Chain A
Amino acid sequence: DIQMTQSPSTLSASVGDRVTITCRASQSISSWLAWYQQTPGKAPKLLIYKASTLEIGVPSRFSGSGSETEFTLTISSLQPDDFATYYCQQYNSYSWTFGQGTKVEIK
């Protein structure tokens, strides 16, 4: 299986901060990586796919980068709606896997 490791597990930040979350794959996944945002009690929402392609309707303050084994999700200026948990997911291999999540909390 391909393992996905996110860091940090929890991040405390303020509105307006630039935030970066890292996701590492246990082996190369090319650019087959997605990022999701989840708020309590809701289904995840797709933000970015193919490592850096913004899903339609997602604000441009979200961006993704990386390839092979190391990826980042950046929020350029954190907004109140962005306090949530973020997950990466690889879809390169026969079976897909999620990272363990990064919770973005209010500082």
Chain B
Amino acid sequence: QITLKESGPTLVKPTQTLTLTCTFSGFSLYTSGVAVGWIRQPPGKALEWLALIYWDDDKRYSPSLKNRLTVTKDTSQNQVVLTMTNMDPVDTATYYCAHGLVPFDFWGQGTLVTVSS
């Protein structure tokens, strides 16, 4: 059974760096073809794809955010970490991580991050 869970701060100040961790079980990032992605959703708005990291450490980023995003993995710990720099109130959103194969067939519950001073 595949599960994913996001963790990190619920409140960050403008200009700070956000670090979110996705801890998963039921699959391995040692397995060929597997990826973990990050998606966010501002309150009442649409989904926005942020980043993707593959089993072979190939990384993909949203063009509009790539200068602010970094995604890394710790395969042995079954974790993927997303960092987003220079946070702004418009970055207030629920952040999801998801298992990517077909493409996103399993999702975490999401974590709401509020950016406010």
Q: Smallest Cβ distance from A53 to chain B, in angstroms?
A: 8
Chain A, range 84-107, C-beta contacts under 8 Å to B: 87, 89, 91, 94-101
Chain A, range 74-89, C-beta contacts under 8 Å to B: 87, 89
Interface string of A3-46 (1 = CB under 8 A from B): 00000000000000000000000000000001010100001111
Contacts of B52 in A (CB 8 A): 96
B residues contacting A by CB (< 8 A) are: 37, 39, 46-49, 52, 60-64, 96, 98, 102-105, 107-110
Please report the total number of A residues contacting B with Cβ < 8 Å. 22
Contacts of B49 in A (CB 8 A): 89, 95-98
Complex: chain B residue closest to A43, CB-CB: B107
Complex Cα gap A87–B104 (Å): 12
Complex: chain A residue closest to B52, CB-CB: A96
Give which listed residue, B47, B102, B105, contacts A98 with CB less than 8 A.
B47
Is B105 a contact partner of A55 (Cβ separation < 8 A)?
A: yes
Complex Cα gap A96–B52 (Å): 9
Is B63 a contact partner of A1 (Cβ separation < 8 A)?
A: yes
Is B103 a contact partner of A95 (Cβ separation < 8 A)?
A: no
